[in-house]
Structure 1
Amino acid sequence: MLKKTLLSLIIILISATLLFAGASNESTSKSSSYSSPLAQVQVTNISETLLGLNTLYQYLNQNFLYDIDIDKVEEELTKALFKALNDPYSEYITEEESEEFTEDITGTYVGIGTYLTKYSPSYIDWDKKETYMVEIIAPFPGGPADRAGIRSGDLISHVNGETVYDLTATEASKLIRGKKGEPITLTINRGNAVFDVTLYPEEVTTPNTTSLIIDKTNIGYISISTFTQKTHELFSEDLRNLMNNNIKGLIIDLRNNGGGIVDSATMIANFFLPDGATIMSIQHKEGSGKQNYSAIASNDTRKVLNIPIVILTNGGTASASEILTAALKDNNRATVIGSKTFGKGIVQDSAMWKNGYIKFTTAYYLTPNGDNIHEKGIEPDILIEDHVYTDEEIKAYYKFIEDNRDDISAYIKAHPEYTKENMDNYVMLHSDIDFPELALKLLIRNEYIYSLPYSERPKVDTIYDSALIEAISFLEKVE
């Protein structure tokens, strides 16, 4: 029994030596007394881990048959570090991926026109679709995605038949942009419904701010579709022009605003809050060395404190736009109308790294009332339910689009005026549809808007936009 045990042990040791040293007899004889440098590394902290990796690299560099691309090694190690953070909002953006990351979001580019988000592939939970599919945060008004009926909260599982599960947010965004004029088919998951939508990427302009006085009222309206470093300046100019026209109320439309530069949001909030009011608070990791702080309203800017305000929100209202919403809501400076916001209550920092960028979560932000809204969102004061359709209605809607694409174009060509009468007439001609009439009204409205030159497209819809209609009614009743 003892001999058998010793023999087994010798075989195991010889096998281990062969596995490590190689298969040739010469290597085996030389390696039988070889002491592996890996065996000497005791990994107890990150410094020793890195030392161990260096030892491993040096060993491979000496013994691996082929040349090692050290730049590729460094890139993959950096990606692995961010993967280990297990945070969907933290990632390493390589030099090749950095062009889109640094692109000015107020510029023009070819794509389908939408804000989107995607968890890091390392964060996949197969029981939760949103962790491995691309989520639509907000379509650009009038863009290809918007006109096709793609909505905030839709999930994209495939692009041209290929899954997006293993892609980063940057890779997915680049793929979904497509090429001008070339069809791109997205597989959309909405609730339990799964269907394909074919779009044609085109030149789209990333929206920023839009302002006007709503027809037949004395109510000002400013929509903010994203927050850039210049948004607060553009908003200030819009606000000044509206105030010069003696508006009696203001609607700030943050629907489908996916966020952006936090400082722009806090500076806009400062326009409407008295000196000393809390705008938001930042809560860093304990022991990070960074101080928690609060953004406080000050008198170093123009103030508009004497008019009532309504903020419009929906599920696409996220991040910086939620900061502005909460700042005015918690300070009783605005009434929120619409549906619950997205719920992104964390902050990311970014920095250049090896000709690319690193982006990582650094803090929670809290509302003036001290609430953490992350993955919770902000409830409106007046709820306007989003339109919810059954699976059968969704399928019928997209079948109608495919079957009537030419019919819609022909109708608009024959009736080019963008009027309620023309839109209602088209709906009446298709009264036998198997989905809600409102969906068809919005479809024909969107197609009419797109048919107009960009500069002539109406900026608001006071015909079918129920949340906007409610906001106007609310402000008209305020004395």
Structure 2
Amino acid sequence: MPRRTLKRLTILLAGLLPVVLVLGIWWGGHPSSLPGPLRDAFVDDHTATLDQALQIIHDDYYRKVDLGRLVDNSIGGAVRRLDDRFSNYLSPSDYGRFQQSSHGEFSGVGMEVSQARQGLGVTRVFPGAPAARGGIRPGDLVVAVGGRSLAGLPADVSSGLIRGRPGTPVTLTVQTAGKRRTLRLLRAKVNAPSVESSLRTVHGVKLGDVSLSGFTVGAHGEVRAAVDRLRQRGARGIVLDLRDN
């Protein structure tokens, strides 16, 4: 083959490769768009049916529906139908939050909350965190974030409004004993302590109290260290508190 022809062929192939790669990636995410023979060869019936159903909903529903959300809901529904309380599906955003919580580190104002009718009930405030510096205390109620009412919102949605990049401001409306006040706090990276311990005497017997707030990475070592410290201080028994984790 002449050198000039070989050079042209090389240039042509180099130009076609990116096109083939892009088409392959696109068809991989849209198998229903493959030509019939290729779809039959590479896509099984169940996958093709699911993809076609999702595509029809996305294309023909009377209002716009996010395809990624459809996929997440479909997978979540399939896992729920297993009727197994130990099996759960986490969307990419849910998994990101899970990773944060499992490492005991997140960016926010440094408090633990629970669902309440009017918003979020504060159950714990971490010492030195923005919430503590702003005067928030356990028992307070966060009723709005940035002027948006939290009444009726799921706890994870409300908490997501409070979290954000370190150094960014967030405005909270906090209710204490029926009185409301507005606080402007700067978010920060917060290391949530997983283990707290104390020593108390009950009927003349020293007992250690170890509270584990979450099964975070390294929590087992913190529990062991807390138990060892309490035993060195004379604890005759240990109470392990696993509530609310």
TM range, smaller chain:
0.5 to 0.7
Counterpart pick for 2:244 among 319, 323, 334? 319
Whether 1:109 and 2:34 are equivalent positions in the alignment is no
Inter-partner Cα distance in structure 2 for 1:79 and 1:132: 28
Higher strand share: 2
**Equivalent residues in 2 for 1:426-445, closer than 5 Å:** none
Segments of 5+ residues of structure 1 without an aligned counterpart are 1-55, 82-90, 119-129, 255-264, 266-317, 321-479
Whether 1:73 and 2:70 are equivalent positions in the alignment is yes
One-letter code aligned to 2:70: V
Inter-partner Cα distance in structure 2 for 1:209 and 1:66: 48
How far off is 1:163 after superposition? 2.0
Q: Name 2:179's counterpart in structure 1.
A: 193
Q: Name 2:35's counterpart in structure 1.
A: none
Inter-partner Cα distance in structure 2 for 1:238 and 1:62: 57
One-letter code aligned to 2:154: T
**Equivalent residues in 2 for 1:271-290, closer than 5 Å:** none
* Contact map agreement 2:125 2:137 (CA 8 A) in 1: yes
**Equivalent residues in 2 for 1:298-377, closer than 5 Å:** 318-320=243-245
Inter-partner Cα distance in structure 2 for 1:63 and 1:239: 61
Inter-CA distance 71–211: structure 2 relative to 1 (3 Å threshold): closer
**Equivalent residues in 2 for 1:375-454, closer than 5 Å:** none
Inter-CA distance 252–95: structure 2 relative to 1 (3 Å threshold): same
Superimposed CA distance per residue, residues 110-147 of structure 1 (whole angstroms, 9 cap, x where no aligned partner)? 221111233xxxxxxxxxxx235122221123322223
Superimposed CA distance per residue, residues 228-282 of structure 1 (whole angstroms, 9 cap, x where no aligned partner)? 1654443233323432x3615678696xxxxxxxxxx4xxxxxxxxxxxxxxxxx
Number of equivalenced pairs: 182
Inter-CA distance 249–149: structure 2 relative to 1 (3 Å threshold): farther
Inter-partner Cα distance in structure 1 for 2:114 and 2:163: 13
Inter-partner Cα distance in structure 1 for 2:137 and 2:128: 12
Inter-partner Cα distance in structure 2 for 1:131 and 1:202: 27
How far off is 1:222 after superposition? 5.3
Inter-CA distance 77–235: structure 2 relative to 1 (3 Å threshold): closer
Secondary structure at the aligned position of 1:96 is classed as helix
TM-score of the pair, normalised by structure 2? 0.54
**Equivalent residues in 2 for 1:96-245, closer than 5 Å:** 96-118=93-115, 130-165=116-151, 167-210=153-196, 223-224=210-211, 226-228=213-215, 230-243=218-231, 245=232
Segments of 5+ residues of structure 2 without an aligned counterpart are 1-52, 79-87
Inter-CA distance 171–101: structure 2 relative to 1 (3 Å threshold): farther
Inter-CA distance 167–80: structure 2 relative to 1 (3 Å threshold): farther
Q: Name 2:31's counterpart in structure 1.
A: none
Superimposed CA distance per residue, residues 75-112 of structure 1 (whole angstroms, 9 cap, x where no aligned partner)? 4577899xxxxxxxxx9753223211232444333221
One-letter code aligned to 2:214: F
Inter-partner Cα distance in structure 2 for 1:68 and 1:143: 39
For the aligned residue pairs, the C-alpha RMSD in angstroms reads: 4.3
TM-score of the pair, normalised by structure 1? 0.31
How far off is 1:164 after superposition? 2.5
Inter-partner Cα distance in structure 2 for 1:246 and 1:219: 9
* Contact map agreement 1:100 1:170 (CA 8 A) in 2: no
Determine what percentage of the aligned residue pairs are the same residue.
Answer: 22
Secondary structure at the aligned position of 2:93 is classed as coil
Secondary structure at the aligned position of 1:173 is classed as helix
